[in-house]
Chain A
Amino acid sequence: MTAASGMAALRMEGVDSFYGHVQVLRGFDLELKSGEVLCLLGRNGAGKTTALKTIMGLVPATAGRILLGDADLTKLPPHEVPKAGVAYVPQGRRLFSELTVAENIEVGLMTRGKGAATREAVLDLFPVLRERLKQRSGTLSGGEQQMLAMARALCLEPQVLLLDEPTEGLMPSMIARIRETVAGLRERGVSTILVEQRVDAVLPVADRVAFIENGRNRETVPVERLRADPDMVHRYVGVG
């Protein structure tokens, strides 16, 4: 399953971050290997989404470092992080609903992509979008919206993709399609951090799983270990 090379695509070292006066991440460490799918699991409020937002600079890191390869992302303004090679698909998709599918993709292409070639590659990944190019994105189904959100992020040609609950509220066929896409991206060398609540949605696609608790990464384990020891999920997440 894994195409991970062992080299770190992205590292968080001792990162602290706050929402106002409330500390969320506490000495947070994480290593995403090149070409792997790393899943963050944890209870609500554990700090999974905050970890992604901190990588993107949306929540500032007050201590520690965030490295993309050798490049330090920690002090970059948020709009420079995607240009460095990290794309983020937030929970709830957040499309530009007044724009058409084609225009959403075009907006994604303008900052980093390579124009027509990138557009075609992205549409090849999500053929259903090709049939809906002139449709306003707000009128797409939930699954199609998720695909468009991923397509728009992939227009940045990222080295690292951050996905926050991409399967939330989708029907099983769509979940399978999203999973296939994540696996396909891994084959192309894209490293992915996946935040999910549903363990069953993670197991078929993840290489490793990091358990997040109280703003810390408690343990990162290969997915095989999780299969062998299902109680581990119960210990950290509270569900089996």
Chain B
Amino acid sequence: MTRLSPSAKSIALHVGVVLLLLALNVLLPEYHRGVLARVLVLAVFAMGYNLAFGYTGLLSLGHAMFFAAGLYGAGLTVYHLEWSVWPAFATGLVAGTALALVVGFLALRTTGVAFMIVTLMFAQVFYLTTLYFTTYTRGEEGLVLPQAARVLAFPGGVLNLSDPSTRYLVALALFALVLAVTLFLARAPFGRSLVAIRENEERMRMLGYDVFANKLASVVLSGLVCAAAGAAYAVLFGYVGSGFAAIQYSILPLLWVLVGGAATTLGPLIGTLFMFYVIDTASSYTTAHLLVVGLVLIGVILFFPKGIAGTVRERWLPWLP
């Protein structure tokens, strides 16, 4: 029997995961398909966070602002300017990327705890800004995008993003694209240099690397991916609200990545899916569901100290990217 190379195994696994998710579109009942579509978009958010935190070692407490920049960039242009989905989505990407460039440029002058605090403060400023301009954003109450505007036009036709199956497939397409980019990055020299920076910045400087420029590139790329998730959330689920800019949405991707496995390609999906269903299941049995979630998290960390995918890689599958 021919043994697959680590690289072939890894590609086969990722293709398999995407095909399985594709099959679930027809296999899952309506409710779970809706949940999974949401999970896929939020997993993209987690994958963006993973680029900065998992691969580069930048523990940000402000990534909600990049997600929300994409969300508002797309949502406000659809709602107020009546733009179609494509330019609105592009606006979300530009907003998140530009914000990541500015915040990264300023915040990366600090490290460690100071970096956490600076990113948290920037995110709070963004959150308060969305509350301040309630005339346009309607604050916590948010905006519901009209169904008629949530239509994706192609040269050959249109896709109605309100349709559950279409929404699922578009979410899956975005997830698959970002998964492929992450997999490529993890194996590319740039990805390795980010891991090396995470391990020892000074050593990288001594090998001739401009560490600041590399970290900034990582934050910008991370911001772009998070903004893509935010913009997709706006047009797929038709809701834009300040809650997505709040600190909770900066902590959640950290939690998803830690549970799934930092610096792994599939960890963000595993962590997001796991946390979603733990909360969903626990809350259907008890109002004290956060207590159950806490206990489950303690169990996960005890048995999977490097996150689920991270521990699987360490113990059983060293080829797992």
Residues of chain B with a CB closer than 8 A to A183's CB: none
Residues of chain A with a CB closer than 8 A to B208's CB: 79-80, 82-83, 111-112, 156
Residues of chain A with a CB closer than 8 A to B202's CB: 58, 94
Size of A's binding interface in residues, CB under 8 A: 28
B205 at the interface (CB under 8 A from A): yes
Size of B's binding interface in residues, CB under 8 A: 18
Binds B, one of A99-107, A205-213, A219-227, A230-238: A99-107
A28 at the interface (CB under 8 A from B): no
Residues of chain B with a CB closer than 8 A to A81's CB: 206
Among candidates A87, A99, A152, A153, residue contacting B192 with C-beta atoms closer than 8 Å: A99
Among candidates A79, A87, A97, residue contacting B205 with C-beta atoms closer than 8 Å: A79
Among candidates A97, A98, A99, A108, residue contacting B207 with C-beta atoms closer than 8 Å: A108
CB–CB B195/A79 < 8 A: no
A123-167 contact mask (Cβ, 8 Å, vs B): 1 or 0:
000000000000000000000000000001101100000000000
Most A C-beta atoms less than 10 A away, residue of B192, B199, B207:
B207
Scan residues 184-226 of chain B and give those whose CB is less than 8 A from a CB of chain A: 189, 192-193, 195-196, 199-200, 202-211
Known contacts A107-B193, A107-B196, A110-B193; is A94 also within 8 Å of B209 by CB? no
Most B C-beta atoms less than 10 A away, residue of A96, A97, A103:
A96
What's the nearest-Cβ distance from chain A to residue B148, in Å? 50
A78 at the interface (CB under 8 A from B): yes
Known contacts A103-B192, A107-B192, A107-B193; is A97 also within 8 Å of B206 by CB? no
What's the nearest-Cβ distance from chain A to residue B221, in Å? 18
CB–CB A96/B205 < 8 A: no
CB–CB B210/A79 < 8 A: yes
6 cross-chain CB contacts under 8 A: A78-B205, A83-B208, A96-B199, A96-B203, A106-B192, A111-B207
